[in-house]
Structure 1
Amino acid sequence: MEAQTTPQLKKPPKPSKPMTELWWFFAAAACVKLLLIPAYKSTDFEVHRHWLATTHSLPLSQWYFDETSPWTLDYPPFFAYFERFLSIFANLIDPQIVHLQKGLNYSSNTVLYFQRISVLFSDLCLLYGVYRLTRKLDSTRQKLIWVLVVWSPMLVIVDHLHFQYNGFLLGILLISLSYLEEGRDLMGGLVFAVLLCFKHLFAVAAPVYFVYLLRHYCWKGFVRGFWRLFILGAIVVAVFAVAYGPFVYHGQMQQVIHRMFPFGRGLCHAYWAPNFWVFYIILDKVLAFLLGRLGFNIQAPAASFTGGIVGDLSPFAVLPQITPVTTFILVLLALSPCLIKAWRHPRPVRITRWVAYAYTCGFLFGWHVHEKAALHFVIPLAIVAVQSLDDARHYFLLSTVSCYSLFPLLFEAQEYPIKVLLLLLHSMLMWLGFSAQFAKRISLELAKSEKKKDKEGFVIGWVGWSYLVGILLVEISGQFLHPIILGDKLPFIPLMLSSTYCALGTMYSFIWQLKWILDS
């Protein structure tokens, strides 16, 4: 008689070790950010302080009409609600922070620490997004992605020095992507709709989301597909109704839209983002110079790009003027190969790449792009950087040049060592991390999937090294040689030079991503 076996009871799940380790990564980054609290802050610091005061001191019906300060509210309603939530605690700590009149340009230690720490706490959203996207990966890849994202020097420079809440917003994006990669399309679409109601500039990826969700989630036969489309549309409409409904009720929508889309700001920001329009501007200036020397009557534009002026007063002397519609069409054209791929082969594993590519297109060809928008594609690409040696090489160059392109944001002498050390440390960590990953095969499956050339380890080649050395030469030229040779003359030349050189790296990234999409 066979002995009866008693069923074994399942042991309760242990606490997630990866999450615990991720907390340590976050804590280490937080300590560095706390040390930077007294450092440089831009006008964006006062912008967000004023938004705290606007949302706390005024009724909702006046938020988008207030002109107490030049820094008027121009983000979508969910971000305004977020500021209103923060203002509750700001008022408890120091009522003057949220005072509409007395708080103008308020710079006490209380407002400094409160706003700095509010950004740090909001980064918990980024932490959760990274955890969701990496929880099923092996330990080596997990930790490498944590280093690339949680310890990103770009986020430190933009959020914790210059001052913004990009980590919080990118965390929402990563959460949305994590749901899509899991096949939970409704949740992914809902979270992305929430993100658009926090910051509308993330809408550049909306065509990718629309095509992917329509094909992957809704394309299931006529009746079932229509029902799914209805559900998805209802969820998106519900999110936007919650965000914009109160402003529709108060008859404010026209004013809200006007604040959110100030097209009068011009094609380029005062500091040129390293994108396609840099080359367009340079070409126009070269043509104007040559035609002028040949005897043509070329009038200099009223607002010169090299003067660092924000505006669009006939900026081009020779080439056709660029309008917002032109940039919109160019972005869609650049995005079209990705949309075709998303329709033909809507695979969840590729959605993060497609979204990153969409933000690359928006950065390169968009209207009035800020240099800080590079975060929109650099952070998502960190998730795919560990998938192959080619991805790692591409990301190493892109992340390095994107971080360097942010240097002009910190223009005071006391912050110079900080940004240099951040970039050097980031480059070293990337090199060590990628080298460790590709020097050894962590599993037989990984060894079979890699090409023979991957066994060489992590190398970037002489072209990559030459470009990185060029960054060093550009920095030496603008930071040290320009003051010695030209003094105070032509002060915008170093910015123009660094922006143009970084634009070469950004264009390379765009071409590399486009080639990957076409070949995949």
Structure 2
Amino acid sequence: MAAFGIATGGGNWFSALALGVTLLKCLLIPTYHSTDFEVHRNWLAITHSLPISQWYYEATSEWTLDYPPFFAWFEYALSHVAKYFDQEMLNVRNLNYSSPRTLLFQRFSVIFTDALFVYAVHECCKCIDGKKAGKELTEKPKFILSVLLLWNFGLLIVDHIHFQYNGFLSGLMLLSIARFFQKRHMEGAFLFAVLLHFKHIYLYIAPAYGVYLLRSYCFTANKPEPTASSLLPTLPLQEGPLPRILGSKLLGFVQCFGQSAVRHRLLSVGKAVDASIFLILTTTGHYSLFPLLFTAAELPIKILLMLLFTIYSISSLKTLFRKEKPLFNWMETFYLLGLGPLEVFCEFVFPFTSWNLKYPFIPLLLTSVYCAVGITYAWFKLYVSVLTDPPVGKTKKQ
């Protein structure tokens, strides 16, 4: 981790942040896991036990292999480590198989592959403009962005409780964006192509990458390109805004939100309006993940982790933009505060009402509708910001 330290005169604080969140992930190993745990165990068994020609045809389990080839090879590579933990997890016919060693391997595989995400965050933070940096370490944009990314509440509960490999995939995406900031366009494009071969859900971002590459790499003969240091905080629509385009999409399901929130963190330390949008989007979106963890044991964990992350996000960004107007208007403040009563009703009041048996879906319905309003509002506000911002290097009057 020491190699990831960003020199600030105060030591390798980045390494400390990365190590701290890694220890937290280890503490989450015994927590609840979803059916995705069995999905990936089955994929380990398929790729390890069967010839390549049968990988996408094996149907003993209902959780058939349906990710692109690179992810299949990723599972294949993991399986050769898994056999040293518990050979039985690699038997295709051992449906719903679980053992203490299987649990340890699968959990640690997510934690280990998150190293790519840590490296990508480090690379992105090097591209951040430090003009707004305060005297204190905790007020520096690089430090704030590192915490917002590394301690991302959404990734913590989706990957390390629910069980997924989104951190590894988000690392590929962030690293490709970082390479664009560093004017290493071919590397960025290559990394995104690799990402597409890991998970097809990222295909809808391809047009944004194509537009950005045309503008910033293919058609740059007579146009100067923004420097990496100014690219993040000032990207408008007219100048090829990769992060804004990448962030501007509707959310159809949980993984889409996770990708969006991770990308929009890159903008949150650049401008107050982007910080406001980020806070609305991430707070609402993170709360929308609560139904994923429906067991009683995880209730205090998800509430505590979200409260800590949300309080830090709001307080740190308010400090960063303290010389500008408030990040929230009265309507946005009222909406965000409404998440508290909603949680109290869904978790502590509704289960004791007479409707609990007849209409058990009401808490999920209320959560979905309430969060949809906030997320839609955030996207609307983002579009307004994109369309009204002046181009780089020009004033609003010009």
**Aligned pair partner of 1:378 in 261, 275, 283:** 261
**Aligned pair partner of 2:341 in 456, 459, 473:** 473
Shift of 1:15: 7.5
Residues 405 and 145 of structure 1, relative CA distance in 2, 3 Å threshold? same
Matched, 1:404 2:287: yes
Question: Does structure 1 conserve the Cα–Cα contact (< 8 Å) formed by 2:272 and 2:324?
Answer: no
- Structure 1 residue aligned with 2:247: 356
Q: Distance in 2 between matches of 1:77 and 1:23?
A: 33
Question: Does structure 2 conserve the Cα–Cα contact (< 8 Å) formed by 1:149 and 1:382?
Answer: yes
Gap runs ≥5 in structure 1: 1-13, 222-340, 364-368, 440-453
Shift of 1:57: 0.3
The letter for the 1-side match of 2:271 is: S
Q: Distance in 1 between matches of 2:220 and 2:16?
A: 44
Shift of 1:404: 0.3
Question: Does structure 2 conserve the Cα–Cα contact (< 8 Å) formed by 1:181 and 1:351?
Answer: no
- Structure 2 residue aligned with 1:99: 91
Question: Does structure 2 conserve the Cα–Cα contact (< 8 Å) formed by 1:26 and 1:150?
Answer: yes
Q: Aligned ranges for residues 252-271 of structure 1 at < 5 Å?
A: none
Residues 136 and 189 of structure 1, relative CA distance in 2, 3 Å threshold? closer
Shift of 1:153: 0.8
Q: Distance in 2 between matches of 1:67 and 1:55?
A: 13
Shift of 1:97: 1.5
**Residue by residue, what CA displacement relative to the aligned partner does 1:440-491 show, whole Å, maximum 9, x if unpaired?**
xxxxxxxxxxxxxx445x5423212210122122222222222222131111
The letter for the 1-side match of 2:358 is: K
Question: Does structure 1 conserve the Cα–Cα contact (< 8 Å) formed by 2:5 and 2:13?
Answer: no
The letter for the 2-side match of 1:463 is: M
Question: Does structure 2 conserve the Cα–Cα contact (< 8 Å) formed by 1:175 and 1:188?
Answer: yes
Q: Distance in 1 between matches of 2:113 and 2:58?
A: 26
Q: Distance in 2 between matches of 1:374 and 1:170?
A: 12
Matched, 1:185 2:185: yes
Q: Distance in 2 between matches of 1:199 and 1:401?
A: 25
Gap runs ≥5 in structure 2: 131-136, 222-235, 390-398
- Structure 2 residue aligned with 1:117: 108
Matched, 1:345 2:239: yes
**Aligned pair partner of 2:62 in 33, 57, 70:** 70
Matched, 1:17 2:18: no
The letter for the 1-side match of 2:145 is: I
Residues 113 and 502 of structure 1, relative CA distance in 2, 3 Å threshold? same
Q: Aligned ranges for residues 250-399 of structure 1 at < 5 Å?
A: 345-346=239-240, 350-357=241-248, 360-361=249-250, 363=251, 369-399=252-282
Q: Distance in 1 between matches of 2:320 and 2:383?
A: 25
Residue aligned with 2:12, SS: helix
Q: Aligned ranges for residues 455-470 of structure 1 at < 5 Å?
A: 455=324, 458-470=326-338
Question: Does structure 2 conserve the Cα–Cα contact (< 8 Å) formed by 1:372 and 1:406?
Answer: no
Q: Aligned ranges for residues 150-229 of structure 1 at < 5 Å?
A: 150-219=150-219
Residue aligned with 1:42, SS: coil
Shift of 1:179: 1.1
Q: Distance in 2 between matches of 1:352 and 1:220?
A: 19
The letter for the 2-side match of 1:144 is: I
Structure 1: 4+ residue segments shifted above 4 A: none
- Structure 2 residue aligned with 1:510: 379
Shift of 1:16: 4.8
**Aligned pair partner of 1:501 in 364, 370, 377:** 370
TM-score (norm 2): 0.86
- Structure 2 residue aligned with 1:56: 48
Q: CA RMSD in A?
A: 1.9
Identity score, percent: 40
Question: Does structure 1 conserve the Cα–Cα contact (< 8 Å) formed by 2:120 and 2:174?
Answer: yes
Q: Distance in 2 between matches of 1:421 and 1:91?
A: 36
- Structure 1 residue aligned with 2:229: none
TM-score (norm 1): 0.67
Question: Does structure 1 conserve the Cα–Cα contact (< 8 Å) formed by 2:273 and 2:327?
Answer: no
Q: Distance in 2 between matches of 1:98 and 1:188?
A: 35
**Residue by residue, what CA displacement relative to the aligned partner does 1:299-329 show, whole Å, maximum 9, x if unpaired?**
xxxxxxxxxxxxxxxxxxxxxxxxxxxxxxx
Moved more, 87-96 or 128-137: 128-137
Shift of 1:352: 1.4
Q: Distance in 2 between matches of 1:407 and 1:202?
A: 24
Question: Does structure 2 conserve the Cα–Cα contact (< 8 Å) formed by 1:371 and 1:406?
Answer: yes
- Structure 2 residue aligned with 1:253: none
Q: Distance in 2 between matches of 1:123 and 1:220?
A: 35
Residues 353 and 491 of structure 1, relative CA distance in 2, 3 Å threshold? same
Q: Between Structure 1 and Structure 2, whose CA radius of gyration is higher?
A: 1
